[in-house]
Amino acid sequence: MKANRIIATIGLAILASGTIQAANTGKPFYGDPPDDRHPWAIHDRNRPQPPRVEPKPASELAAKAKAPAGAVILFDGTEAALAKWEADKKDVHEPTKWIVRDGAMECVPKSGYVRTKQEFGDCQLHVEWAAPTPPQGESQGRGNSGIFLMGTLEVQVLDNYDNPTYADGFACSVYGINPPAANALRPPGEFQFIDIEYRRPIYENEKCVDPGYITVYCNGILVQDHLAPDGTGGHMKRSKPGPMPEKGVLKLQDHGNPVRFRNIWIRELPPRTGVTPSHGPLSAEETAAKRKEIAATIRSDAAKLASPDNPLPELLRALESLTYEKQDAVVKKATELTGKYLQKLSQLPKDQLAGKKEEVKDLGAAFKYLDKWNLIPAGYGPKADVDALIKAQGWQDVPKANK
């Protein structure tokens, strides 16, 4: 057993005995008090510590931690990568004083936060960080930094391997909002693998249409599960949900500790629907408009497939458009094309007709689907004609025996 693990075990025993003062997990009468939706105060020292869950082995996580194609590499261990970052100063753009050492970007205490030059919105983010060793300080004073999404929402970076603190300020808490579901940290000096999925809240006309969410994995363990962030969090103050800009910079915190970062990459996520200007859920009108647009694209595609020798490809593609938009002209065209198709089949010698079995059955299945969803008229003649051909040829599927 490692020394710090032994110390943690002794610490827990002391806590359990209740005879010695509890570990410093925060002050009373400090952050905003409990309210009618929150049973805990902000930075509530009475809130339970996250339970210990062993992290997944680094060897297992390393392969998955490689940046996927298309991701923006924000730090790859090189000095040159610092060019993607700058000091976090209002209205000023200047290089950061953070340094690169042994392939990691290291916070230089009192040099200030660092921010990306590029802005990001909804994203998948991977960050690896390591707390200084040997550990110094306690509670919020030990290995503190932070990953600030859109410059405001902090996923806490803190050495809590053997260091209790108020639960909503624990490593991988959404700071001031929600503790992590587990303490899956490695000891200080070792890199923690953090994976974040973030969707910003969306408002339309000052009304929330999607609260957004954040999911965090710490060393492969799920610790924030699709959390609607309830504002941007922060120190001592209870934040309130509200709109966010579409994009913002990613920041890393200088909290006075030389925390190290490596392998930082971000993958921007496409809008939730890709249709509405706000990327929010579609209204009935917007849905209808989008369906009309898709149907028109498919109809135009169908027209390009027109062939006097084989009407089937155009027919099937045209029928597909009916699932997006019912249109009498398409139904009429389908009647005409089915007629032509069956006419051609009727001219085939028996052995060649046998070779058409699967495509005829596909057409039969398409009609069956459209009929089920009332997308073709009830008792639609071409469907009946195709069904009759399948039956005449004995091509029906044999019903599965009841077991």
Would you tell me which residues interact with Mg ion (CB under 5 A)? 144, 146, 253, 255
Exposed e or buried b per residue across 273-299, where buried means at least 16 C-beta atoms within 10 angstroms of its C-beta: eebbebbbeeeeeeeeebeeeebeebb
Q: What single letter denotes the amino acid at residue 24?
A: N
Nearer to Mg ion, 255 or 267 (CB): 255
The dihedral over CA atoms of 84, 87, 91, 92, expressed in degrees to the nearest 10, equals -90
Least separation in angstroms between residue 177's CB and Mg ion is: 13
**CB distance 121 to 246 below 8 Å:** yes
Nearer to Mg ion, 163 or 253 (CB): 253
Structure tokens at 120: 């990001």
Phi, psi of 265 (to 5 degrees): -140, 155
DSSP one-letter code for 169: G
- The 3-class secondary structure across 199-264, one letter per residue, is ECCEEECCEEEECCEEEEEECCEEEEEEECCCCCCCCCCCCCCCCCCCCEEEEECCCCCCCEEEEE
Whether the ω angle into residue 134 lies within 30 degrees of 0, i.e. cis, is yes
Q: What single letter denotes the amino acid at residue 237?
A: K
Measure the CA–CA gap between 248 and 116, rounded to whole angstroms.
9
Nearer to Mg ion, 255 or 361 (CB): 255
Least separation in angstroms between residue 370's CB and Mg ion is: 58
Least separation in angstroms between residue 137's CB and Mg ion is: 13
Least separation in angstroms between residue 108's CB and Mg ion is: 16
The structure tokens 């808490």 sit at 173
Sequence-distant (6+) residues with CB within 8 A of 127 are 147, 194, 196, 261, 263, 264
Nearer to Mg ion, 38 or 255 (CB): 255
Nearer to Mg ion, 131 or 370 (CB): 131
Nearer to Mg ion, 253 or 338 (CB): 253
Residue among 136, 73, 137 nearest 105 (CA) = 73
Nearer to Mg ion, 146 or 382 (CB): 146
Residue nearest to Mg ion (CB): 146
Nearer to Mg ion, 146 or 233 (CB): 146
Least separation in angstroms between residue 104's CB and Mg ion is: 18
Q: What single letter denotes the amino acid at residue 180?
A: P
Least separation in angstroms between residue 220's CB and Mg ion is: 22
Least separation in angstroms between residue 299's CB and Mg ion is: 56
Nearer to Mg ion, 154 or 210 (CB): 154
Nearer to Mg ion, 251 or 317 (CB): 251
Query: Cα 89 to chain center, whole Å?
Result: 30
Least separation in angstroms between residue 87's CB and Mg ion is: 18
Exposed e or buried b per residue across 170-181, where buried means at least 16 C-beta atoms within 10 angstroms of its C-beta: bbbbbbbbbbbb
Least separation in angstroms between residue 155's CB and Mg ion is: 9
Q: What single letter denotes the amino acid at residue 136?
A: Q
Least separation in angstroms between residue 3's CB and Mg ion is: 26
**CB distance 114 to 131 below 8 Å:** no
